[in-house]
Each structure stands twice: as structure tokens, then as C-alpha cells.
Amino acid sequence: MRFLVTGTAGFIGFHLARRLLAEGHDVTGFDAMTSYYDVRLKEARHAILERSERFTAHIGRLEDRDALDRAAEAARPDMLVHLAAQAGVRHSIDHPQTYVDANLVGSFNVLELARALKPRHLLLASTSSVYGANEAMPFREIDRADHPVSLYAATKKALEAMSHSYAHLFAVPTTCFRFFTVYGPWGRPDMALFKFVDAIRAGRPIDIYGEGRMQRDFTYVDDLVEAIVRLAHAVPERGCPVAAPEGVADTLSPVAPWRVVNIAGGEPVGLMPFVETIERCLGLPAIRNMLAMQPGDVVSTFADPRLLEALTGYRPATSVETGVEAFVRWYLDVYEPLRAAA
């Protein structure tokens, strides 16, 4: 099939595009190459994708509707996967306008594009951050998500709401997936694992927020991509809920071909055991700088993955030990030489 994927120079978009290319699909990538983090890392990801004749890259911002239209005209996609966004909870506190531009205006442009293209399936990246101040664990897709604690989370919740209206009004089959702390090779330098490895290798202290009490439902990137690929074929149809085990509620809308799905394994890991795993993989001790919670952060994220499993027969299961080891190998073998050559 033909895929148009936004954010192919980003962490998750790169991995998804590489998987789709390996399966023989045509992929058109759209990315702004913003300077939120080192553009050389983004360029290196795209360079790998461009080894395939089935990959075509378009550089542009989501806010630029003309650029997005040109990419879509070239792609003529069967599937539209929207992963591009301004990421980062903490960054949204100091730079809110970039989130409005990319995540609201840019996502509106993607929805307008879907309205015109009528793809077989529109797949949209949301986040576990939309659960906000919820305290009941695990997070279920049917739980209310009305109290975001960061602008980043609020923009993603807005994307979900906007996409539902488009699915209803224009019959665009749509699935929103909520990511839970994705990590792995080619990850983002602003994420905890990358920052921890970088600091430990350099002998610098690592900042541990929440005084080590935090826990996350870490999701290895290959598991995430597997789930997305499977969900691409689980096209929502109005009036056709999935057969799910007792106690699992489908989120299929009663008025639209639309649903939202958690992607995570449902196995939260404490921040301190996570740091200890990094230490073992590096063979180096971390200098811990224990700090209070950051504004916009939550103590715990923990997904209920049963709807994903009902829809796809799949549940992420890569252990933190395996995933961190893979990241450390990539960091030492690929990233450090890449950085040294710059």
C-alpha cells in the first residue's frame, strides 16, 4: 500500500517508516526538520530511509498547508499516519506557541487533508499525558481525560476531539493511539533514557525528578511499531465494535468510525530500577541528583492494554532490560561515532 507518514525524521516515524518499507510498502515522509533537538540526528534517520527507492521525503511544516498538499499529491496514500508534533511536556511550559502552531494548526491541516483524500484509515498519535490528573490505575481508554496538566497534553486531547468530529462529519475511519513513554535506539535526546546514558558516560550527575518515586509504563519502540502496523488493519466501522473479553470496553464511537487505543504493555517500572538497569548495561555508576517533581509531570503512568490486544491479538512485551541494552548498544556503536564525526 501507499502510506503518507508525518514525522519520518522523528524517533517513532523513522522506525515506522523503516518497518513499512521492509514490508514492501511505498512511504512518503513529511517532516519539518525543526531544531527542537540536533537536526543531524534527524538527517541521519532520513538518510537511512532514503536508501530505499520506495521512500520519498518532503520537508515542510505542518502549518504550511500548501507543502502538505504537495506531499499528499505525490503520495496518493491509502493510509495516512500522523506522528509529527511538537513533543515534550516541560518544553511546552516555556514555548507554548510552538505547540499551538504544530499540534493544533498543523493537526487541523492534516484533518483537512484526510477530509479531501478519504484514506482507508487515518491513524493519529496521541499520548498517555491526556490522562492528566487521573489517579485510578491502570488508565483505561474509557476513563475521563478532562484534566490535562500540561499544554502538550491539552493539544493532544484537542487532536482526539477534533478528529472525532471529522470522522463523524466526513466518514473518515480514524484511530487515535495513546503512547506510553516510548524508548529505544534512535530515540530523542530530550528523553530520560538518552539524557541518563549521555550524562553517565560523561561522568555528570543525572537529574531524578519526583525524588525517584515516579514510575512509567515504558514501551519499546519496536513493540510500538508492531502495534501501529496491526492497528492500521483494524479499521473502525461505525456500529461494529470489537469482540472483547468481559470487562474490556471498546471505544468505538456511537456516531463515527473512530476509536482511541492505548499502546503499552501494562507493566509499569519504577524510575530507580530503570536507572539501575542503565547502570548495569553501561557498567558505570550514576551520580544521582534527586529533585522534586517538575510542573506538568505526573507520578505514574500505567496502561490497560486489553483493548489493543482485543483488536490486534498483540500486547507489547519487551522487557526494560532488553530494551535498554539495545539502546545502549546503539548509543555506543552509532550515536557516539555520529556525534564525534560532526
Geometric angle at alpha carbon 329, from 276 and 44, rounded to 5° = 125
231 contacts 251 by C-beta, under 8 angstroms: no
**Catalytic: 220?**
no
Distances in whole angstroms, Cα of residue 177 to Cα of each of 144, 328, 337: 16, 27, 34
User: Could you give the CA distance from residue 35 to residue 42 in angstroms, rounded to a whole number?
Assistant: 10
**Catalytic pick among 152, 166, 209, 335:** 152
CA angle at 272 for the pair 267 and 273, rounded to the nearest 5°: 50
Angle, helix 39-49 to helix 11-22, in steps of 10 degrees: 10
List beta partners, residue 303: 139
* Phi-psi domain of 198 (left: phi exceeds 0; alpha: psi -120 through 50; beta: other): alpha
Measured between alpha carbons, how far is 166 from 214 in angstroms, rounded to an integer?
37
Residues whose CB is less than 8 angstroms from the CB of residue 22 and which lie 6 or more positions away in sequence, other chains included: none
Q: Where are the beta strands (DSSP E) in 155-203?
A: 174-179, 182-183
Q: Tell me the catalytic residues.
A: 152
